[in-house]
Structure 1
Amino acid sequence: MSPLVKIRSERDQMSAVERRIADFILENAQLLRDYSSQQLANALGISQSSVVKFTQKLGFKGYPDLKYSVGEAIARADNGDAAQVTAQATAAFGESASGNLWRRKSESEEETRLINAPETLQAVAEAIATAGANGKVFMIGLGDDDIYARSFALRLSLLGIPSVHNFDAPRMAASVSAAGAGDVLLVFSEHGNHPALCKIGRFFRERRGRLITVTRHTSNPLRALADIALLVSAHDDRPYIQPVLYQSALQHLLDGVFVQLCEGDEQRHVHLLANLERVQQMLEP
């Protein structure tokens, strides 16, 4: 993983001082080769030990190792090894506001892809498929999170995997009382700290069901309860941009799970095609 991508993906979990270091490196990556750890510390008004601890926390031996790694990443980008999609976006949109948004969304999607290992997506797909065949799939999201819970529940139904979807916490608590071993509960919660959802998650695990959470890539109570945690990386200093990045990266993540479900079983694939044809017939005059 590129050190700059790693810094972006870990930023949401950093302390205030660490975020200052991260932002400086991300904004001045080209100049980092000219900074010693002491000079970087002086520029930010922090101690040199804070810079060293920051680099070690990211998995580097020390500041020189981080600086070398960033320099290599920049050199690879300059040699044309950067993601082609970013280059195409720059060519198509230039430095316009829409071009910058497109680039930021691409970065968030890439960071989200990197922090969710393929094995994790496969485990989620297998858990849903098993629950859909032999048990029940429960799904909940509150507020804006319900948009994605509702949409994903609909897509599962197209594959022949019915789900118990709810956007009301008390009613979902009643629904999961019928859960058992092998059942799955997907909880969509951007910040992962809603008390009612945490209570439902604990109750569901008491019923020996598997809890899958979808939250930001931060330390949060809901993620700590999960058997499998799907994580979304999306950060921006502009409050009107950050939710856009989160929504884009989350949709990209769910698309990956859906594709695995489609391609993992021929019967589900056939079921999908048949349902899409029925839906089209319903829409025709």
Structure 2
Amino acid sequence: MSPLLKIRAERDQMSAIERRIADFLLENAHLLRDYSSQQLANALGISQSSVVKFSQKFGFKGYPDLKYSIVQAMARGDGKEEVAATSIPAVGHPHSALADALWQLKAQAEAATRLINPPEQIDAVARLIQDAGKVYIIGLGEDGIHARAFATRLSMLGVLTVHYVDAALMHAGVSTTSADDVLFVFSEHGRQPTLCQISHRARERGGHVVSVTRHTPNPLRAHAELALLVSAHDDRRYIEPLLYQSALSHLLDLIFVLLCESSEARRGLLDQNLEHMQDLLDS
């Protein structure tokens, strides 16, 4: 695994100084061979000890080991996905370069998101759904787009799904939560007090809570039994939401596929429901 990918995945969890170091490494990986820890510190206006501590945070003895690992990864090509997408040469129409750059950024976000959601965590979430009596799902605003899509897919698999777009209705709904029920709460930043209250209510009733948020410390994660995390960032405000949505979609797609492949009965029911939907559309 490229050390640059690990750094990108953890960026949202970093302090301001750590993010400055991370951004420098990500943007200048091909020049890193010429930088000592002191030169890097001087370039960023920070202390040399901050560079050392940053390196140790990622499991290296010090900055020289981190630098060597990054240089080796670049030489092998492991870090090529981290090179700025603007370096991709244009092919044909100018849109080609733009499309390639956006695809590359989405690929980086999806790879970083995979890194921070280990297979054991994904399997645990899938098992909760498989064993659930009911699955409650809520997301407010733009988070509601993914919540609704996920609820629809689970319903197509025969999972009893309760989806609300109104927080008050969901608060009332989870009052009937039982021990095998699961609540999925979609919130990019995880800061809505209402959603935290709903999660707390579900846990009080003995239900399971899965939060779906960015890879940042946030109140909603503190109320969840399991957390699905998304790592996606870009300095351009019109690009960052696209990366978040793409990485989250990929994460939810993986869970859906796991559910499909774990049960032939669910796949059969999905086929039937798809056929019924097509008949309705054709009639």
Normalised-by-shorter TM-score class: over 0.9
Q: CA deviation at 1:59?
A: 2.1
2:54 paired with 1:39 = no
Give the distance between the partners of 1:93 and 1:68, measured in 2 at CA. 33
Give the distance between the partners of 2:256 and 2:34, measured in 1 at CA. 46
- 8 Å CA contact retained: 1:201, 1:211: yes
Question: Secondary structure of 1:72's partner?
Answer: helix
Among 259, 262, 276, the residue aligned to 1:261: 259
Among 208, 211, 214, the residue aligned to 1:210: 208
Could you give the per-residue CA deviations for residues 153-191 of structure 1, whole angstroms, max 9, x where no partner exists? 111111011211111111111000000111100000000
- 8 Å CA contact retained: 2:134, 2:181: yes
Give the distance between the partners of 1:254 and 1:91, measured in 2 at CA. 32
Question: Secondary structure of 1:211's partner?
Answer: strand
Partner of 1:77: 77
Gap regions ≥5 residues in structure 1: none
Give the distance between the partners of 1:246 and 1:169, measured in 2 at CA. 23
Instruction: Report the residue type matching 1:160 in the other structure.
Output: G
Partner of 1:25: 25
Give the distance between the partners of 2:76 and 2:207, measured in 1 at CA. 46
Q: CA deviation at 1:208?
A: 1.1
Question: Secondary structure of 1:127's partner?
Answer: helix
Give the distance between the partners of 1:6 and 1:199, measured in 2 at CA. 33
Question: Secondary structure of 2:61's partner?
Answer: coil
Instruction: Report the residue type matching 2:176 in the other structure.
Output: A
- 8 Å CA contact retained: 1:140, 1:172: yes
Partner of 1:251: 249
Give the 5 Å matches for 1:1-285: 1-77=1-77, 96-131=97-132, 135-285=133-283
**Alpha-carbon spacing, 1:92–1:251, altered in 2? closer, same or farther (3 Å):** farther
Runs of 4+ in 1 over 6 A off after TM superposition: none
Give the distance between the partners of 2:3 and 2:111, measured in 1 at CA. 13
Question: Secondary structure of 1:186's partner?
Answer: strand
Q: CA deviation at 1:93?
A: 5.5
Give the distance between the partners of 1:103 and 1:189, measured in 2 at CA. 25
Gap regions ≥5 residues in structure 2: none
Tell me how many residue pairs correspond in the alignment: 276
Give the distance between the partners of 2:115 and 2:218, measured in 1 at CA. 20
TM-score norm. by structure 2 comes to 0.93
**Alpha-carbon spacing, 1:107–1:93, altered in 2? closer, same or farther (3 Å):** farther
Could you give the per-residue CA deviations for residues 130-170 of structure 1, whole angstroms, max 9, x where no partner exists? 10xxx211000000001111111111111011211111111
